[in-house]
Structure 1
Amino acid sequence: MIRAKSVDPVSYFVDIKNAATGVLITSFTLNALAAKLSKNQTLVLRGTIGGTGTAIPGSFLVNNY
């Protein structure tokens, strides 16, 4: 389950939760001023649920331009 909300017109906060349990897996903040929102971008989810070390859940943005 992915839920995004905007508190101000500049930032978007994305929470990625386990759909079965509702537990937060990771979150991501997108700053609209820093990101080119008129271009395609991909939010990548990495890691595994319950992972440790390099397998810990996380997210990052990839520019597709």
Structure 2
Amino acid sequence: MQQLPDLSTLSSTQMGTLVLELWAMVQTLTAQINELQARLNLNSRNSSKPPSSDGLNKPQPKSLRKAG
């Protein structure tokens, strides 16, 4: 990772370029975070993962019987 340049020495063009690069990095990281969160939310009921991969957070089974 590079050091932050002295912002007082940058021209407005350089400052604009730096802002655009940082914005692109933020967008990329946000997309990666969203993808990882979506992967964390997967379990055996909403993906092709086997039930054994659910660990201790297994969803409660839903009964098909009606309450009497």
TM over 0.5: no
Normalising by the residue count of structure 1, what TM-score does the alignment of the two structures yield? 0.19
* Greater helix share, structure number: 2
* Greater strand share, structure number: 1
Whose radius of gyration is greater, 1 or 2?
2
Q: Which structure's relative contact order is higher, taking Cα pairs within 8 Å and 6+ residues apart?
A: 1
Normalising by the residue count of structure 2, what TM-score does the alignment of the two structures yield? 0.19
